[in-house]
Structure 1
Amino acid sequence: MRALTWQGIGDVQVREVPDPVIQEPTDAIVRVTATAICGSDLHLYDVLAPFLKSGDVLGHEFMGVVEAVGDGVDGLQPGDRVVVPFCIACGHCWMCRRGLFAQCETTQVTEHDKGARLFGYTSLYGSVPGGQAELVRVPHADFGPVKLPDNFPDERFLFLSDVLPTAWQGVEFADVGPDDTLAVLGLGPIGQMAVRVARHRGVGRVLAVDLVDERLEYARQWGAEVVDYRQGNDVAAALSELTDGRGPDAVLDAVGMEAHGNPVAGAMIAGAARLPKPVGRQAIDKIGVDRLDALYTAINAVRRGGTVSVSGVYGGAVDPMPLFTMFDKGITVRMGQCHVQRWTDELFDLANQTTDVLGLEDFATHRLPLSEAPDAYEMFRDKRDGCIKVVLHP
C-alpha cells in the first residue's frame, strides 16, 4: 500500500509499505477514504525528530471503511463506515471508566512514562503506524471506531477523529458561558474550530488572535472579534483593553510549542532535533524547552480568578513558568491530550444533524490526493495559499 512516511527533518515521502494485518483479536483493518494534516503533525516534521525513524507512517486523523475485523470485535463488520479517534483506548480500564481515555492504562506507553498510544505519533506514543495511508490497523477496534451513516460526505465526520473533540474539550475546560469572554490564541485548525464551538455553545464574546490575514478573516466570519498579533507585541494588553481592563474570563491556548516570539528557544529546539537520536531524545526529555510566548500571553491576559485552557501541544521538560503571577492572580489551568471518546456521542449527534451547524463540510481549505502530501506539509507549515486545514484522499 501507499503511505506517507517520515524520512528526516522536513522530509516526508509517499512510499510503498507492507499492508497491515490483523495482529490481535480486537484489531480491525480500515481502508482510508479521508485523512487530514493536523497542526501537531508539524511537531513531527521538525521538533520531535529524535523520536522518529525513517519509514514511520504519519497521521492521526482518519476515517474509512472496515475491511476486516478480528475475532474479538463485536459490533463492526466489513463494509462499515467508521471514523477513528486518534488516541487508542481500551474502554474498560480504571482510567477509561473515568472518561480519561487519553490516559488509558491498557495502552499507556510505560517505557516512556507517557499516556495512551496515539496513531502516527513517534516512539513516545507507541510507534503505531498512522492514518495518512491507504490502510490502517486499528487496535482496540472493539471500542474505538465510531460507526457512521452514509447520508453525509466524509468531511461531515472526519473531524470527529481529533480537531472537533480537541476544540470542544478546550472550550469545555475554559468553563465559559453566555456572560463570559473567551480569548482564543492561534487560529490554526484547533483555534478555528474552538471559535465555532464557542459560538455554538453560546459563549458571550469570542476574541481571536493570530497574525495571518486569512486566518483572522476565517474566524471573523464565524463571529469572533479578531486581534492582529502584528499590530503590537503586547497581546495581553490588547485583550485587557477590549475587556474593560479586566482581561478575558478564559484564554484558550491553541498554539503550543510552535509559538512565535522567542528565537532563542526556537534555536535550542531546532538544535536538539538535529542531535544524534539518543542524545536528542535525552535533550528533549530531560532539558527540553518550548517557545512559550502563547502560554505566557494566556497567563498574563486572563482575568484574575479566570481559566487558562491549553489545547496546544507542549513538550518541554524544564519550561520556566511565571508561578508568582499564576498564584497571585488565582488562575485555573486545565490542559492535556484530548479524551476523544469522552465527547464522541455528543459530537456525533451534532455532526449528524441535517444542518451543518459547525461548517464541518467546508472546514478544510485544501483537498488533495495522498500523493501530494509532501507539498501539502510544506504549504501548511509555511501558511501559504491561505492554507488552514488539509484533507488528503488516498
Structure 2
Amino acid sequence: MRRYELVGRHDIRLVTDAPVPVPGPSEVLVRVRACTVCNRSDLAYYHYYGLREHCAQGCYGHEIAGVVESVGAGVTRVSPGQRVFVRTPLTTGYADFALAREISVGALPDSVPFEQGAILQLLPLAVHATRGVRLGDRVAIVGQGPVGLMALRVAALRGASHIAAVDLDDWRLRRSALLGADATHRVDGSAEQLRAVGDGFDVSVDAVGTPTTLNACVGLVRQNGLVVMLGTHHVDTHVTVDLVTWERKGLRVHSSAEPVDTARAEALATAERIAHTRELHLPRILTHTYALDELPKAMERLSASRALYPDAEQAPYDGPPQETLKVAIVP
C-alpha cells in the first residue's frame, strides 16, 4: 500500500510498497477515504521533528474517516464495511489503510462525506474540553481555527448563553459568526488587545496553545471561573503563569486530553450522537481537498501560520493561512 512517513524535519516520504497492517485483538483496520491535516500536531511534528522530543512520538496523520476493512479478535462495536471516523489511530492516516484501537473508532453517518467526516476526530476532543460548560454560561474561545470552531459548536449545544469568539483573522471570525458566535473580537495577538476583550466570562477556552493566549484566558474569566487548555502547547512547551492571580481568582483549570479509556469512551459516545445531527456545520470548516500525493503541497499551504513560531520569536506571518481551515487528504 501507499503510506507517507515523517522521517525528519520538513521531510515526508511516500512509500509505495508498505505492508498493510494486520489488526490484533481489539484493533480495527480502516480503509482510509480521507485524512484531514491537524493544524497543530501534524504541522508541529513536521516543523519540529528532532527539535522537540514529543514530535517524534505522536501519530502524524491522525484525523481519519473511512470504511472498516477487517477487525481483530474481541471487536464488537464495528464490523467490516461500516463507515467510521477515527480519533487517534495507531498508524498514519496518510495511507491507503490505517490501524486503530476499537475504542478510538466512531460510527460515521451516511449523510456525512468522508472528507468532512475526518474532521469529526476533533469532536470527542471538543466534547471533553467543554465538559465544564453549563447551561447559561458565558464562554470566550480564543482561537477560531478548526478546533476552536468545534468547541464553539459544542459549547452552544451545551447551552452556553453567550459565546465570544476571538481571533487574529477577520475571515475566520466571519466563519465563527456563521457557526453561532454571539460576538467576535479581532485582535492582533498582543496581551493588551486580548485583555480588552473583557472579563467576567464563566469559561474561557484557549484553542491556540501559546503562553500569551493561556494567560489571556486567565484574565477573561470571573472569580472561580474555568480555564480550558484546548490548544496544544507543541511549540512553547513551557509556559509561565502568574500563580498569585490564579490564587486570587480561585480559578479552576482542565485540559482537553482524555487521560483514561473511560473518558475516551464517554467522549466518543457523545460525539457519535452529535455527529448524527446537522449541528456541526462541517462544510464551513472544510476548505480544501488534496490527493494523497499532494500532501507536501497541503503542508506548505498550512505552514504559512504564525502559530508555528514561539511566542517570543518574530514570525514571518501575522496570522493563520489565508482563507484556510481544514484540509483533507484523499487517497
Q: Deviations over 1:215-239 (max 9, x none)?
A: 1211122232111112864134312
Q: Which residue does 1:321 correspond to in 2?
A: 241
CA distance in 2, matches of 1:367, 1:185: 26
- Alignment partner, residue 46 of structure 1: 47
Distance 1:20 1:389 in 2: 27
SS at match of 2:85: strand
Output aligned runs, 1:350-365, within 5 Å: 350-353=274-277, 356-365=278-287
The offset of 1:169, in angstroms, is 2.1
Superposed displacement of residue 332, structure 1: 0.6
CA spacing shift, 1:370–1:297, aligned 2, 3 Å = same
> Deviation at 1:62?
0.4
Map 1:29-108 onto structure 2 (within 5 A).
Answer: 29-39=29-39, 40-50=41-51, 51=53, 58-86=60-88
- Cα deviation for residue 185 of structure 1 reads 0.7
Among 223, 232, 240, the alignment partner of 2:180 is 223
Q: Compute the displacement of 1:351 (Å).
A: 1.8
Correspondence for 2:113 among 144, 153, 168:
153
The one-letter code of the counterpart of 1:60 is H
Percent identical residues: 31
On the 8 A contact 1:4/1:15 being kept in 2, the answer is: yes
Partner secondary structure for residue 141 of structure 2: strand
The answer to whether the Cα contact below 8 Å between 1:5 and 1:57 also exists between their aligned partners in 2 is: no
1:208 aligns with 2:165: yes
Map of 1:392 onto structure 2: 329
- Structure 1 residues without counterparts, runs of 5 or longer: 87-118, 120-127, 241-245, 260-291
Would the aligned equivalents of 1:36 and 1:389 in 2 still touch at CA under 8 Å? yes
The answer for the alignment partner of 2:201 in structure 1 is: 248
Residue 331 of structure 1: CA displacement? Answer: 0.8
Structure 2 gaps, min length 5: 305-319
CA distance in 2, matches of 1:330, 1:317: 24
| 1:303 maps onto 2:242 in alignment | no
Q: Tell me which residue corresponds to 2:273.
A: 349
Q: Is the 8 A contact 1:31 1:135 kept in 2?
A: yes
State the aligned residue count: 307
In structure 1, distance between residues paired with 2:21 and 2:180: 46
Which of these two proteins has the greater Rg computed from alpha carbons? Answer: 1
Asked if structure 2 preserves the Cα contact closer than 8 Å seen for 1:153 and 1:361, the reply is no
1:145 and 1:83 mapped to 2: Cα distance? 6
Q: State the shift of 1:362 in Å.
A: 3.8
Residues 301-325 of structure 1, C-alpha deviations (whole Å, 9 max, x = no match): 2222211011111256653221111
Residue 156 of structure 1 and its aligned partner are, at CA, apart by 5.5
Instruction: State the Cα deviation string for residues 118-159 of structure 1 (Å, max 9, x = none).
Output: x3xxxxxxxx42212111122x33x43234453442255433
Alignment of 1:263-342 (within 5 A): 292-314=211-233, 318-338=238-258, 339-342=263-266
Report the CA distance between 1:359 and its aligned residue.
0.8
Change (3 A) 1:166 1:32: same
- Residue type of the alignment partner of 2:273: D
Q: CA 1:237–1:72 in structure 2 vs 1: closer, same or farther (change >3 Å)?
A: closer
**TM-score normalised by structure 2 residue count:** 0.83
**CA–CA separation in structure 1 for the residues paired with 2:49 and 2:288:** 25
Would you say the 8 A contact 1:208–1:216 is kept in 2?
Answer: yes
Aligned AA for 2:185? V
Q: One-letter code of the match for 2:227? A: V
Structure richer in strand, relative to its length: 2
Alpha-carbon distance change, 75 to 319 in structure 1, aligned in 2, over 3 angstroms: closer
1:11-60 per-position Cα deviation (integer Å, ceiling 9, x unaligned): 33433251233262333321101111112222212235354899x97211
Amino acid at match of 1:352: H
Give the CA deviation at 1:200.
Answer: 3.1
